């Protein structure tokens, strides 16, 4: 279920909960402006959905989304999070377009009572595309149903190549019956890898809320010749002497080509081709250059005596390489100059992406460029505002690592594709900067050693943003501030009974019966009778035999600082208790519970010093909040904030979890 979009979950939730609740649920497809039942105090009807009303002061929509409410009679600081506006979730591969995307007519069924999305064609097959060229495919998105269709998102699926781009009208899009909009998909191959992926279109079509458009490509077998670098600078030249620079002519294509000529264009007499080598042997044109091979070309600048140097300096020239593609000649050029103006490298960090909590996130800086020299090193780090790393508070395991697993945060390395563990739901912002050879640096170890005089290195940063958004309807997260303590997250079904630790409990989801990783057993974790994931003793709530309406616990952290997450996709109507058991906590510390509803952080509860002493007494638990499911689209979060004694009649002292699990 984690891999499904939350629009699909919301639809399934609506269908199942409407059957459970005694009150009627009116479809938004037939009446998008009414809420049934009527919204209660503090709520307003928005597009057929009961939403918390910001005007009552209960919901803070400030930019930081985190506001502590003072209460002198309470031991709890309750911090309420503002709603998050989600865009289409791509990774900066939306092309800014001046095209007027006018809606066009298409075939539809006027007798239909629901919206219906129909795509023509149903896949984007780009065929063979030469590296460096662009192919465009147009997909018609038609509303073939009888009522308005609302398209909320167009995004590339996780794992889609970053060489695909999209172009479309601004979202959201409303299509009246019998009208269509055009989605333009671009493919710009950068290497000889065959690329693929999916474009996901999300709408309110009740039968197909997510349509996947496969992206298919094949690389044309062709050569492609480039000159590295593209700007060849002769710096610190001496009048009356010859000066030399060496560049590479590289065939980055997929097949062999013939180099027909290498020359300077202007013929001023200042610049000339001095030598060409392939491997260790000198060659003359024409010669063959295989796929992946390169030639070293030495260019000579004949500097005249000082009195003969033209006013304004030596004029720029161009080096041109002529090569063959399908029997026709192609040219590649590079600039020859004596200018000492720095041409700084440009960092490009990508992809912006949406993931789910606990995913490993992979970043890519390979699109970074440096026109006149080599990129010596990359520096990946958390973007900071007022010294604070921009990642969810408490995500101490979110560390940027290289492909060997070493921490490279804020360090100059040659790692172009790092990764990190998105352990908590929320927003992560990573920065990328470059170490530039223009500053005289030659290795990652050198970078930054002459910070006072460097011009390009670390001068520009690019940011990449990752949103870790829970896909389940309810996502409850527990973290605490000190290692070596064991706190347990619990969720109790409506009218159920709280337990400290009981494998047989059908009411209370906790570490002993809900842990999908079976942390205290050897893997693999057996599936539950009602379906995967496990464990085998998972409680079966609501509809018997249906796994998606049961809660799951994804981690039982025994000696770290969390997180522990309980997820529930299809909650039944009524009040669900969220609680935290002090299983073996002993140090004064801060304990935090965050509650996400429909992919939005709704509330944050903190319990911390000096109030933790009462909670930290043996066999206590903290009743955090009720999650009151009122309707398929309305879930209230109601603060409780009480400390209660747990039933430890069978324990004289905390029992090691391994022993309990073994029983």
CB 145 within 8 A of CB 110: no
Q: 358: closest CA among 406, 421, 302, 443?
A: 421
CB 405 within 8 A of CB 413: no
Express each pLDDT in 411-421 by its tens digit: 999 999 999 99
Residue 523 has pLDDT above 60, yes or no: no
Express each pLDDT in 386-398 by its tens digit: 999 999 999 999 9
What beta strand segments (E) does 204-352 contain?
210-219, 225-228, 231-233, 242-251, 257-264, 271-278, 281-282, 287-289, 294-302, 317-325, 328-337
Which pLDDT band, with edges at 50, 70 and 90, does 401 fall under?
very high
pLDDT at 597 (0 to 100): 95
Express each pLDDT in 260-301 by its tens digit: 999 999 878 899 999 999 988 999 999 999 999 999 999 999
Residue 54 has pLDDT above 90, yes or no: no
CB 281 within 8 A of CB 232: no
Express each pLDDT in 316-337 by its tens digit: 999 999 999 888 999 999 999 9
Express each pLDDT in 219-247 by its tens digit: 778 888 999 889 999 877 888 889 999 99
pLDDT at 660 (0 to 100): 54
Residue 410 has pLDDT above 70, yes or no: yes
pLDDT at 296 (0 to 100): 96
Q: Exposed e or buried b for every residue in 238-257, given b needs 16+ CB within 10 A?
A: eeeeebebebebbbbbbeeb
HEC per residue, 36-100? CCCCCCCEEEECCEEEECHHHCCCCCCCCCCEEECCCCCCEEEEECCCCCCCCCCCCCECCCCCC
HEC per residue, 307-325? HHCCCCCCCCEEEEEEEEE
CB 575 within 8 A of CB 627: yes
CB within 8 Å of 15: residues ≥ 6 apart: none
C-beta atoms surrounding 122 within 10 Å: 11
Long-range contacts of 53-59 (CB under 8 A, 24+ apart): 59/83
- The residue that leads in pLDDT, 516 or 592, is 592
**Degrees, nearest 5: CA angle 595-601-604:** 50
CB 552 within 8 A of CB 538: yes
- The residue that leads in pLDDT, 487 or 78, is 487
Mean pLDDT of 176-181: 96
Two structure tokens written together for 336: 């020859």
pLDDT at 547 (0 to 100): 84
Residue 625 has pLDDT above 90, yes or no: yes
For CA atoms 521, 527, 530, 532, the dihedral sign is: positive
**Degrees, nearest 5: CA angle 139-141-144:** 140
For the chain, domain boundaries: 1-86+470-663, 104-219, 225-337, 353-468
Two structure tokens written together for 266: 């202007």
What is the SS3 assignment for 601? strand
Q: 656: closest CA among 520, 514, 504?
A: 520
Distance of alpha carbon 609 from the chain centroid: 35
Two structure tokens written together for 299: 């260019």
**Strand-strand pairing, 634-645 and 135-143:** unpaired
pLDDT at 520 (0 to 100): 59
Q: 154: closest CA among 124, 195, 197, 183?
A: 183
Q: 18: closest CA among 495, 473, 472, 573?
A: 573
**Strand-strand pairing, 43-46 and 67-69:** unpaired
Which pLDDT band, with edges at 50, 70 and 90, does 656 fall under?
low
pLDDT at 81 (0 to 100): 38
What gap in Å lies between CA 480 and CA 471, rounded to an integer? 23
Residue 423 has pLDDT above 90, yes or no: yes
Residue 34 has pLDDT above 50, yes or no: no
- One of 3.40.190.10, 3.40.1010.20, 3.50.50.100, 2.60.40.10 is the CATH number of 104-219, namely 2.60.40.10
What gap in Å lies between CA 179 and CA 286, rounded to an integer? 58
* Report field, pTM of the whole predicted structure over 0.75: no
Q: Which residues pair with 421 in a beta bridge?
A: 360
CATH fold of the domain at 225-337: Immunoglobulin-like (2.60.40)
What gap in Å lies between CA 623 and CA 641, rounded to an integer? 6
pLDDT at 351 (0 to 100): 87
What helix, strand, coil percent values describe the chain, rounded to 5?
A: 5, 40, 55
- The residue that leads in pLDDT, 24 or 542, is 542
The answer to whether 225-337 and 353-468 have equal CATH topology is: yes
Residue 17 has pLDDT above 90, yes or no: no
CATH fold of the domain at 353-468: Immunoglobulin-like (2.60.40)
Which pLDDT band, with edges at 50, 70 and 90, does 57 fall under?
very low
Residue 559 has pLDDT above 50, yes or no: yes
What is the SS3 assignment for 288? strand
User: Dihedral of the CA atoms 549, 554, 555, 561 (nearest 10)?
Assistant: -90
């Amino acid at each position: 279920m984690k891999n499904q979009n939350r629009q699909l979950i919301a639809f399934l939730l609506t269908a199942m909960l409407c059957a459970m609740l005694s009150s009627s649920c009116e479809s938004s497809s037939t009446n998008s402006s009414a809420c049934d039942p009527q919204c209660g105090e503090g709520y307003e009807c928005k597009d057929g959905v009961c939403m918390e009303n910001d005007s009552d002061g209960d919901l803070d929509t400030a930019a930081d989304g985190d506001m502590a409410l003072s209460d002198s009679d309470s031991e709890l600081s309750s911090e309420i999070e503002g709603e998050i506006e989600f865009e289409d979730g791509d990774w900066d591969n939306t092309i800014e377009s001046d095209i007027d995307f006018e809606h066009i007519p298409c075939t539809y069924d006027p007798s239909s009572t629901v919206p219906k999305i129909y795509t023509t064609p149903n896949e984007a097959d780009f065929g063979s595309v030469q590296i460096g060229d662009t192919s465009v495919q147009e997909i018609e998105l038609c509303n073939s149903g009888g009522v308005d269709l609302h398209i909320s998102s167009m995004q590339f699926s996780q794992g889609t190549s970053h060489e695909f781009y999209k172009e479309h009208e601004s979202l959201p899009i409303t299509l009246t019956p019998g009208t269509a909009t055009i989605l333009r998909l671009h493919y710009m191959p950068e290497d000889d890898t065959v690329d693929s992926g999916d474009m996901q279109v999300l709408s309110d079509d009740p039968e197909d809320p997510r349509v996947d458009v496969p992206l298919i490509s094949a690389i044309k077998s062709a050569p492609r010749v480039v000159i590295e670098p593209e700007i060849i600078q002769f710096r610190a030249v001496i009048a009356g002497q010859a000066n030399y620079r060496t560049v590479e002519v590289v065939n980055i294509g997929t097949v062999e080509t013939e180099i027909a000529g290498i020359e300077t264009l202007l013929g001023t007499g200042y610049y000339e081709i001095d030598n060409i080598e392939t491997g260790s042997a000198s060659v003359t044109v024409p010669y063959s250059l295989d796929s992946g091979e390169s030639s070293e070309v030495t260019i000579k600048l004949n500097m005249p005596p000082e009195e003969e140097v033209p006013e304004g300096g030596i004029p720029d020239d161009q080096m041109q390489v002529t090569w063959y593609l399908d029997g026709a000649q192609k040219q590649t050029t590079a600039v020859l100059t004596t200018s000492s103006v720095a041409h700084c490298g440009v960092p490009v960090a990508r992809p912006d992406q949406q993931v789910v909590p606990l995913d490993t996130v992979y970043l890519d800086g390979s699109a970074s460029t440096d026109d006149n020299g080599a990129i010596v090193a990359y520096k990946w780090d958390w973007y900071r505002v007022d010294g604070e790393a921009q990642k969810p508070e408490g995500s101490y395991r979110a560390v940027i690592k290289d492909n060997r697993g070493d921490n490279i945060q804020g360090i100059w390395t040659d790692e172009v594709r790092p990764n990190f563990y998105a352990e908590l739901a929320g927003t992560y912002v990573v920065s990328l900067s470059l170490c530039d050879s223009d500053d005289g640096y030659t290795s990652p170890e050198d970078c930054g050693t002459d910070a006072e005089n460097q011009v390009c290195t670390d001068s520009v940063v690019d940011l990449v943003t990752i949103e870790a958004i829970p896909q389940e309807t309810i996502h409850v997260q527990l973290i605490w501030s000190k290692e070596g303590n064991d706190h347990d997250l619990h969720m109790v079904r409506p009218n159920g009974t709280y337990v400290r630790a009981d494998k047989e409990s059908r009411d209370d989801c906790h570490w002993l019966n809900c842990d999908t990783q079976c942390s205290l057993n050897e893997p693999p974790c057996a599936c539950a009778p009602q379906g995967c994931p496990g464990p085998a003793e998972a409680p079966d709530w609501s509809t018997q035999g249906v796994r998606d309406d049961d809660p799951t616990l994804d981690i039982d952290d025994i000696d770290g600082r969390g997180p522990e997450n309980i997820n529930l996709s299809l909650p039944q109507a009524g009040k669900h208790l969220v609680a935290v058991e002090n299983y073996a906590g002993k140090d004064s510390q801060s304990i935090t519970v965050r509650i996400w509803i429909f992919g939005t952080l709704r509330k944050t509860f903190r319990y911390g010093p000096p109030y933790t002493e009462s909670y930290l007494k043996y066999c206590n638990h903290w009743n955090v909040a009720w999650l009151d499911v009122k309707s398929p689209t309305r879930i209230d979060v109601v603060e409780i904030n009480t400390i209660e004694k747990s039933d430890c009649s069978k324990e004289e002292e905390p029992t090691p979890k391994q022993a309990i699990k073994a029983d």
